[in-house]
Every structure is written in structure tokens, then in C-alpha cells.
Chain A
């Protein structure tokens, strides 16, 4: 079975390599067939190995010093589920893309990148050690970079993909530091040895400010730093606060890419990481996780309330739902978190594909009428339910799942999380109650913005007619390549796929596969009040939205132009804040250090150079004026003496005689005196 899984992972890689060398429509078929085969194989693997024992297959990759590094596959429940999920989401997206990108010039490159992404994601979920995990974690980020910036002539797209990669890199640095700490502590990268049942991580403990493991110890701060690193990685990949701002910008890529990567799979990789390394966290860290998730969910939901770009609303909704999943991990609701990951993948992908169809049709309207509108702006849409009935039904199903109304899969997963949130906060101090209460509020906000979205897009009249009254409109549902994926995904958003009992999440096969304790007794009143209260109020909120947007009664609690609206509309001003706090200072630091390098460090060298030149000038002066000057002085003395003596030669005879006399007299005096 392990080799089957390996084949499923490598098929997209083969498609990638083939697509590098061929062009044209064939690339689409190569990728899609590869994914289809991969999906079939993963279904076979799933049916044989889910809830069986874990399968672990590895070979030596290379040896460094005396440590050996392995490359291998780990197939436990988590891996097999994710393998199946990724394939089942990727298949409809591939089919959708063949039509959606059909007229694009770089069709071939699109499928090359898409296959690379599928390979990376599939490999990520089945690898068995941290080094390979990090490898594919980064490769997933790289494929995302290629796909976000696919339309590389668009200025916004290339800014977005740079931002996405750099923010993901911050997470990667965190993950790398965590891996370094774990390796230094446990001397192995193997996931089973570290995080499996009774693994090395669970054998370690804290004592005297040290983190003690079998065979090594390290100051306890490093355990917190390692967990902090993992948090950073999760925040970056799964777009949690504070590293969430890349995801809305990533919507600049093609919508099918947004559906696959930024809704269902890559962003779920963060949750997957949490699932893999779960035994690492202690209670304090889990609490931190819960708070981060809760805050992010709330924040994103408030922002989604006011956005006008269709894809942006869905992006913030994704951030919010990921916050749910992160929070669920934090409150020990491991199984519910994974459950929500799976259901969210389906309904979010569905919603994005719906958005793709709508935007595609609006683009047609724009092109045929030469209008200057943004095809993604919901303010120009409306009344599309009559023209695109299938898309409308798909949107309703997806939206209902997102809100968590009964009979959908979303109900099962979301209510499970909320119930467990209340149970968890009961075991903690009163301050922790804020988490489940915020989550409840967030759920109602979710209901509101989903309803707003659907009403604005599908109900009322086509508002683009306000811009140009007579408009040629060939809006329809699209060909089979648009319809089939929508139908497939809609079916997966309904409850029968996950549980035969529509109301009890504990009965879901998925939940039972991951849960470790017996939650089957209805322990407390929460299990009835929460689902009932939540859903009744959600329906009330939906009616409120209906009233505001369709019946246009002035019931908005907030005016359009007060501070709360602006705060929400500008995404809580995070982008501006990050630019000022991080981007500009780092660039300024770079410029400053360059100035330092040129003026101070190199300046020091120049100073040495100038000292040397000055010394050489001094030596020159010394040479010319002092040493040579001494010689000149000597000659001048000689010359002076010569001139002096010369003056005695007057040529006058009597003078000579007189001087002779003087000398003789002096001589005699001299002789007598001494």
C-alpha cells in the first residue's frame, strides 16, 4: 500500500516534468489525467488503510558525519485523510481550470505550476521526517508564489506574490528554528520517533528551568522558542494573525488557484502541521493557540462584513474559518479541528469555484460592452440567480455549510468545535469564557456576511445596468467543465458524506477516527443549547441581511461612514501598519548599513589609504628638504668659505705683501705668547 501512495504522490511530479517540455491544450489533459489517477489510487489506499495501523516505510537518503538522514513515507490516519482530501479537491479544480484558463496564452505554464503544487502538497502530507516536511512546506510556498504571480504583467499580482512568499518565509524561519531545537534535543528528525505514541517528545519534561529529554537537555526557554517557531509557521501558512495579510492579496491569482491553494489545501497545511506535532505543546502554549485562533476568526469576520470584492470576502472568510480550526487545536478538540478542515475544504472550494464562474461571466459582460467595471466587485452584480441557476444552488449549499446550518457538513464540524469550546472554558478560569463567546459572535457575523454576499450577487437586479442601461448579457452557467465540479463539490457539502446522523457530530466516522476519548455521552446541556441557539440566531441574522439588502429597509446598526466601518473596510489598517513598522524600517536599516559600509567601514580603509598617502608626502618632504637640504647646506658652506677666501686674491701686489707681513707678525706674536 505504501508504494501505491508513493505512486499517487509522484504522478503529479511526472505531469510537471512532461508539461515542462510540451505546450498547448495537451498540458491540461496531462495534469488532469495524472490527478484523476492519483485520486483513484488514493481512494484505494484510503479504503484499505484508514483506521488500520500506521505504515512507515523509509530508506537512507544521505549520511552527514555519523548521522543518517532518511527519506520515507508515513501513512497514518492523518496522512491518508489529507492525501484523499487534496486529490478530491484538486480533481474538480483541474477540470474547472481547463475551461477557465482555456483562453489564456500561458495555459501550458499554468498546468505545469499546478502539477508542481499538487506534487508538493501530496508529498507534504505523507513524508515521515522533519527535513522533508520543511522541504515540501517551502515548495508548496514556492508553487503558490508561481501561481499567485501567474499573470506576471499585473502590477498587483507581482506585489502580492512577493508579499506572500516573504511572509511565508517568516514562518519558514520559525519552523526551521523549531526543527533545529528538536534535532539538538532529540538527535532525530523522524516524526514517528518524535511525536508518535510514547515518542521522545512525550518523554521529555521540564525541571529546574531545563527541558530534559532522553539523552540531552537545554534551557527551557528553547522549548517555548521552538513552539513559537511552529506558531509562526502556522500563522504564515494558515494566514493567522499577525501574518495573515498576504492571503487577501493572493486573490490576484486566477480564481481556480485561489480555490485549490488558498482555500482548501495549502492554507490547511498549517493545521496539518499542528496535527503532526501536537504532542509538543504544553497547556500554556495551547491556550495561546486558542486565543490567537479566536482573535483571528473574529477579526477576519469583521473585515469580511464590509468588503466589496467577491474574492476578498471569501479570502477573509477563509482566514476566519482557519482561526476556528487553530482555536480548536488549542482547546484540545483535535478531532473537530481536522473535521472542520475537511468540511471547510469542500465548501470553500465550492464557493470559490462559484465565484470563478460569476467573475468569468461578469468579465464577458465587461468585454462585450467595453465597460470600465471591476468584474470582481459585488456592487455591480445582482439578480444572477435567474441566469445561473445551477451556480446559485451551489452557492446556497456552500453558503449554508459555511454558516453551519443543519443538514450540511459544516453544521457537524462547526458546532462540534463550539460545544467543545464551551466545555473547555468550563475547566478554566472565568476569563477564558471570552473564547467561546467570541466564537459565537463570529459565527453570527459569518452568517451575516455570507447572506450579504449571496443576496448581493444573486438577488435583486443586475446593478451593472445602473452604469450602462443597455447591456448585452450572455450570462449562463457555463459548459460541463464548470457544472460537473460544482455538482461534485456540492454533494460533498451535505451531511451524508460525513455522518449518517445529520445532527450528532460525534457519530461522524471522521470524528471517531481521530478522537482519543469517549465523548459519546451527552455530558451536558451545551450539546443541545449551542446548536439550537446558534442556528436560530443565524437564521435571524440571515433574515436581517435579507431585510437590509433586498427589502432595503434601513436597519443597519452601523452607518456607512463611521470609524467602525472604515476600520473594517481598511482591514484593520494592518497593511499600513506592517508597512510602517516592518517594511520601511528594514529597508531603512539596509540603506543605513550600506551608508555605514561605504562611509565607515570602507571609510576606515580610505582613512588608512589617506594616512599612507600623507605619510608618503611627509617622506617626500623629508627627503627633499631635510636630507637633500643637508647636502645643500654643506655645499653652501663650502661655497661661502670659498667666496670668502677668494676675496683675498685682489691681484694687488702691495696687498699681498701686507698680508704676508701680517701673517709673519702674527706668527711671531703667537710663538712668543705660547
Chain B
């Protein structure tokens, strides 16, 4: 049994189990979900340990170098004179995906633990949770564009319901906004996908294909197709390949999110329940950047190279704009949402630099941010479940009331602002190193971009420390007075069981970054070589 298929569809099986169980057993749903997440974690760790490194296993644009591959013919339609439609169930992973799989699995376990606080419509909640789980892993593993798109769209619907039914006060607005915004991006992706399908021919069978890896090879394109590299077609006056890249980029940029396409994020995060915020911040944002690497850069490397300045600039703007906005927030969850925008700016900047340090730093930032943002949102959830208020100005001196909680908050905050010893420092430092080096080595990004982005680490210290000082230190003073004081008990063992693994992972990756770098290095080098030929 192929491990990846197992990994993707296990949650679906558990979901079916929950569907058939009667409502009288509703207390067991959360345990079943947790079990599903733990099984996934186990499988992903197994994949990680059996993952082979080395230049012969780099993947990226060589189909035979991907690992744990399963390719089954899925939809085969004979269209008469128009040839055969060939869609395969094609899954496989390379260095870029493996670390994201492990990270997603751990984040799902934490989200499952955070789902303990849900009280109504349990069956619906957990079934939707598991469908989302399946879709997420499907996206990371798919190598057929149709399958990728299927899983990508499948993610949206459970999220709409999860936010819209179990969320906060403005949940319907946030859910609709998130759903429509993301859908807007992805419907145009569908057009480009079809365009690519009609442009690419599978060399083995001679029919059009959705195979992403074959789309990366310019030799597979028909000479006069819309996205061919030789015959420069135009679409509405722009080169067709550029239009394709931009459309795909917009679809993923909405997810990353890149300023100015980010305004759905603060609303969605704030209104979503804690577990959904954790999944949103921890996993979904990474799907956007993974899509940029795998699809935008893989299929349109020529446009990626010529547009890298704009991408880098968007990254720098996201970093600074997100950080400055975070400084102005009163709502704790909204502040952390904006800080996510800022940290994902580093990812985009690293990808745009097209250097090994830059891309490695970007992947590391994806993994690190997955752990740290999950931790941050979980911590916010701890306060919110107790007093239903998140306003920073309403709390003071929580350090005396909840000392252990404060220790975890300090770990999360300092790790997020890039204190060395934790993973975010390695990620951000090497992203910046790669960005700066890009000016000297491949001339894509100017040197000043790295210098400006470095200001981001100063700003993140500002807003995190301000929040720490405001909410946790000083003498005790709560808006809700005695009532709140009784409600604010220190964290219990269930919450600790979610926080400790995340903190440990952040620390571990900070001290031994080779856990991530060791697996991704070959793929990153292959990716850089792949794009190098387009750099003039």
C-alpha cells in the first residue's frame, strides 16, 4: 500500500467512521479525530525517516527522482478526433514536500487537541475537520495538476463551514469573505490549467496531460500552443506565459498571503475557532507558498526569473507592512494574524531570490512558522476560552496569575521574533543571506531589499515585546475584575501536551537545523539549477 495514499485518505476513513457512529457517542468523536491525526503523524515520520537524500533523489523536474510515487490511470476518456483525455492519480514527494508533510501532521495533532473546546454540532465539526485534513495532505502530495486543483478546491468548503458555523461574532462575514476571495483566485487558475493541458503533450502516450512534471519540460509543449516557449503567443496584448504566471501567482498569493491580497486573513483568523485558526495559519498559508514553488516557478521559470524583482518587492512590502499593522492592533489574535503576514513575507522574499540559501531559508521559515504560529494561536485560544475577550488593553499582570502560561507565551514570542536558538532565527537569517547574495550572484534582487527586510526583525521585537509588557507584566489589573480572576486558571495538562511538542520542535530546529536542511538541500540545489538557465 503506497504510504502517501494511506497518508492522504486515512482521515477520510476516520471521517466515515464518525459519520456512521450514533450521536450518543459524541464524546468519542474528538478522540477518533485525535487518533486519526496521530496516525498521520506516525506515517509522516515514517516517510521522513525513509526519505532518501542525494543528488539522484532531488526531484523537482525529474519524474523518476520523486519518492513514494504512485501513478494510477484515473480518468481516461476517448474524445474521438480530439484524442484521449488522460488524468492520472499521481502522487509523489521530493525534498520540498517532505518537511511540510511532517509539519502539517504535527499541526493537525495540535489542532485536534485544540478542538476539545467545541461544544455544538460535534459530528459535523469533526467530519469537516477530517475532510480538510485529507485535502491538505492531498495538495502537498499531488503531482497531477487536476488532482492538485481538486484537493485545493476541496479545502475551501470545509473551511467555509468551520469558520461560518463555529466561529466568533462576525463569522458569516469572515467565512464568505474568505471563501469568495480564495475562490476568485482559483477559478482563474482553472483556466490556466486547461490552457496548460492543451499545450502539453505526454511524450509517452502522445495525448494531452495534466502531469505537472511534464509541464516543467519545455520540450513537451506543442510548438503553436498558447503556453509554448518557442512561439511567443500573446493574450490580451501580453505574452501568454506571463499572463499564465501572473494568474497562477495571484491565486497562490491570496493564500500566502501577499500584501495587498491579504485582507481576508485578519477577519478569517479572528473569527475562526482556535483549532481552525491553527490550521489556517499553520498549514494553509504554506500551501500558497508551496504552490508558488512547485507550480509557478516549476512551470513558468522564465517568467519567475524576469519577475523576481517584483516578487521580492512584494515580499519586502509584506514584511514591513504586516509588522507595522501588527503594532497598531488591540485584538491579540488580529496582531498575531498580521505578524503571520509579515513572516510569510520572508518566505516570498527567499523564493524570489532564487539562491540556495534563500530558498532553503524560505522552506525553513515555512516549517518554523507552521509550528510557531500554531503555538501562538493556541495560546490566544487559552485566554479566549476562559474569559471570551482578547483585547490587549483589558489585561495586565497575567504573569502573576498564570505563570506557566506566561513561560510558554515568552517562548512563543521570543521564538517568533527570531531569537537565536529557535528555528525562526535560522530561517530568517538565511532568507536574508540568500536575498543579499542574490544581488552579487545572480543579479536578480538588489542589495537594499535584504537591508530593508532586516528592519522586519526590529519591528517584530517591537510588537511582541509591547504585548508582553502590556498583558503579562506589571501589577494585576483585569477588566473583568474578580470574575475574570477566577476564570483565568493556569494551563492544564491537555493544553501543555499541545504546547510542549511545538516548543520543543522550534528549539530543536533552532539547534539542529540539519533536520530540515538535510532533507531539502538536494531539491533546493536542483531547483536553483533548474532556474539558473533562464537567468541572463
Contact = CB atoms under 8 A, between A and B. Distances in A.
B425 A135 contact: yes
Given A142-B419, A590-B328, A602-B263, A172 B457 contact: yes
A602 to B, nearest CB: 4
Contacts of A222: 447
B9 interface: no
Interface string A154-177: 010011011001100110110011
A169 B465 CA distance: 11
B525 interface: yes
Q: Of B433, B472, B524, which is in contact with the most chain A CB atoms at under 10 Å from its CB?
A: B433
Nearest to A605: B263
Nearest to B438: A184
B327 A64 contact: no
Interface in B409-438: 414, 419-421, 425, 429-430, 432-433, 436-437
Interface string A217-252: 111001001000000000000000000000000000
B376 to A, nearest CB: 18
Interface stretch (A363-371, A385-393, A488-496, A591-599): A591-599
A183 B473 CA distance: 39
Contacts of B450: 177, 180
A601 B324 contact: no
Give chain B's interface secondary structure class: helix
A436 B473 CA distance: 45
Contact of A62 (B457, B472, B514): B514
Given A134-B420, A153-B397, A169-B457, A65 B525 contact: yes
A578 B397 CA distance: 27
B497 interface: no
A631 interface: no
Interface string A173-205: 100110111011100000000000000000000
A66 B325 contact: no
B169 interface: no
B171 to A, nearest CB: 17
A225 B451 contact: yes
Interface string B436-448: 1101100000010
A142 B263 CA distance: 34
Contacts of A155: 474-475
Q: Which interface class (under 10, 10 to 19, 20 to 34, 35 or more) fits A?
A: 35 or more
Interface in B327-357: 327-329, 355-357
Contacts of B324: 586, 589-590, 593-594
Nearest to B264: A605
Nearest to B341: A597
A461 to B, nearest CB: 37
Interface in A565-603: 586-587, 589-591, 593-594, 597, 601-602
A149 interface: yes
Nearest to B359: A65
B432 A180 contact: yes
A40 interface: no
A591 B328 contact: yes
A62 B440 contact: no
B462 A176 contact: no
B487 interface: no
Contact of B521 (A64, A161, A218): A64
A7 interface: no
Interface of B: 177, 181, 259-260, 262-263, 321, 324-329, 355-357, 360-361, 397, 399-400, 414, 419-421, 425, 429-430, 432-433, 436-437, 439-440, 447, 450-451, 454-455, 457-458, 461-462, 465-466, 468-469, 472-475, 512-514, 517-518, 521, 524-525, 528
Given A65-B357, A177-B450, 18 more contacts: A63-B514, A64-B513, A67-B356, A135-B420, A138-B420, A152-B399, A152-B472, A161-B469, A162-B468, A162-B469, A165-B465, A176-B429, A180-B437, A183-B433, A587-B327, A587-B328, A590-B327, A597-B263
20 contacts: A62-B514, A63-B521, A65-B524, A66-B356, A66-B525, A134-B420, A138-B420, A153-B397, A153-B475, A158-B469, A158-B473, A169-B458, A169-B461, A173-B455, A177-B451, A218-B447, A586-B462, A587-B327, A591-B328, A604-B260
